[in-house]
Amino acid sequence: MRIEGGTHSYKLGILGASNIIRPALLEPARYVDDITVSAIANRTPVKAVELAHAYNIPQVAGSLEALLEMKELDAVYIALSNDLHAEWALKALAAGKHVLVEKPIALTPVEAEQLRTASAQPAAHKLVEGLMVAHHPWQQALKSIIDSGQYGQLRSLKTRITIPAKDQHTGNYRSIKSKGGGAFADLGCYWLQFVENIVGLQHVQISGQSQFDGPDGCDWTFQASLKYDSGLDAECLISFELPYRASHTLYFDQTVLTVPDFLRPLKGFYPMKIRHDLPDDRSTVQDFEPMNYYVNQLRAFAEIMDGTREAGLEYSLERVTLQARMMAVAQQAWSYR
């Protein structure tokens, strides 16, 4: 790490060359002065070379391991398949790097515990899950509305995240069960992060359901719910086969609020809104200026490395465990069908 004019500047290396690299890191890095992409490595070197040429990345490491050995790097971004996230996060921490790893940070409670142990070491660097929606002010604004009681008590939450799979995700880890494939592993973390942020994940009864009829026995549509001791219900429909929709709807005593198309800022700088969702009232409650989730995330990562912002790791690991439990419930129910 170097300091220029009192501002920390971090050199970052990339592990992987998947399609997410461009929108999640390489394009956003143009807007974040505190982070410089300095190296890339991929198991198929030609892909790394292509990206290095397109984005003026100075170094292409000969292997993933070689990149971790580069002393000049302060941090790494991990964009490998889901089943490799925890493994390479552990290796990166052991190499003395800060880590931003694509969601999900881990697939199993065992992996989550390994990450917890590694991150608790005295000399451990920062470990952050790349769950970009967490870094936009609409969630905190919605929490403030709930906490204020201005619309009465919150009675239920309904989330839909349905993104049709292009070509059935053929050749993609999302269609391979052993690599963490399936809709819930890929998209369920968005729902759980949202629910955890606004109402928490304590004192809940869980359920999960799927036909597991996608490629390789993956869940192509998954329904999940949380029932709180308070009576609050949080439900989610997640799918790789239903028409596109990404929305959160909140049912209060006195109104219904929605956050429509909440994934839109993944694609660039777009405005967001919270609005009423009643037959005679669709007025806006709060507007948000155009933002890009990934730019916000990269800025947050720099602040976390600076030590001026919390990494939120324990929340990420808690979600991994809860998500694994919900998947186990669904698999058990399916086996008894």
Please list the active-site residues: 103
| Whole-angstrom distance, CA of residue 202 vs CA of residue 315 | 12
DSSP H helices in the chain? 21, 45-55, 64-68, 85-94, 109-119, 137-148, 183-199, 293-306, 313-335
| Whole-angstrom distance, CA of residue 251 vs CA of residue 157 | 6
Bridge-based pairing of strands 204-210 and 75-78 is unpaired
| Whole-angstrom distance, CA of residue 251 vs CA of residue 158 | 8
276: Cα separation from own chain's centroid: 26
CB count, 10 Å around CB of 182? Answer: 29
The answer to whether the beta carbons of residues 288 and 133 sit under 8 Å apart is: no
CA atoms lying within 13 Å on the CB side of residue 72: 8
Token pair of 35 as six digits: 């982070």
Token pair of 66 as six digits: 């070689």
- Single out the residue of 287, 299, 294, 310 nearest to residue 133, CA to CA: 294
Q: Residue 23: is the preceding peptide bond cis (ω within 30°)?
A: no
Burial of 133 (0-12, 13-18, 19+ CB in 10 A): buried
Bridge-based pairing of strands 98-102 and 127-130 is parallel
248-258 in b/e burial notation, b at 16+ Cβ within 10 A? bbbbbeebbbb
| Whole-angstrom distance, CA of residue 132 vs CA of residue 165 | 21
